[in-house]
Amino acid sequence: MMINGYNEGLIESIRIWLREDVGSGDVTTSVTVPSGHESKGIIHAKEAGIVAGMPVVQLVFEVVDPTLKFTPFVQDGEAIAKGTVLAEVEGSTHSILTGERLALNLLQRLSGIATRTRSFVDALEGLSVRLVDTRKTTPGHRMLEKYAVRMGGGANHRFGLYDAVMIKDNHIKGAGGIAEAVSRARANIPHTMKIEVETESLEQVKEALTAKADIIMLDNMAPELMKEAVALIKSKAPHVTVEASGNVSLQTIHGIAESGVDVISVGRLTYSFESLDISLDLGEKKVR
């Protein structure tokens, strides 16, 4: 049930999200469904995709009502077809309906991210390049969304401003140049932390190499310039990791990968996706 070691924090978030939706109580259910009524809810996919978020859904129902019985039939990261039954939840109808919307919202969004990620992973088939996400996530949902990226076959970039040095254009301006920015960073971070520098030109790539950056990001570079930059970096410092970022789409990612970069970061994985269509219906017979 642990998501990134995030179980306790996730439970508190679920309580907050439930308060937002339920407020003082589920009015419709309380006035239409008899107290004590019990049901079996069937969660099923209305389109094909990659599942992510099943443990989160289970946690939602546990927070709503610990007596509910949740039975998953698929695992996160699994490819599913339209019509696949993902899980059953049994017990109080009031409790099932109270948790339904939050559970589905999370499952649909996370599965949408996993599905989107898998499409990018598939576009890189046969190429030795790593696909990673960015910090362009929904506030309050970063851990979950980055988890969904992993379930789709991608990997995670830094989780926040606290776990890596990434010197971007505004840092360079504020520090007075790449050399000064890297020098200051190197003097103030532990030896275990790497320094990444964002570059937009061949001149900046040369500056980052001279400053001995650990990772050099090629940001929004044209394909030919990117190939030239990769060749330069690999000839001067083959140990340096080269990352490509900016304007990466399913149409352009294969060409970017062929430039020889080691990593491609894609913000679209978590900010430009479609939620997977998933529903919960009461009283249906289980079909697997």
Q: Which residues are catalytic?
A: 101, 136, 168, 198, 219
- In sign, the C-alpha dihedral spanning 243, 249, 253, 259 is negative
Find out whether 129 and 154 touch, Cβ atoms under 8 Å. Answer: no
- Tokens 């049901």 correspond to 39
Cα radius of gyration (the chain): 23
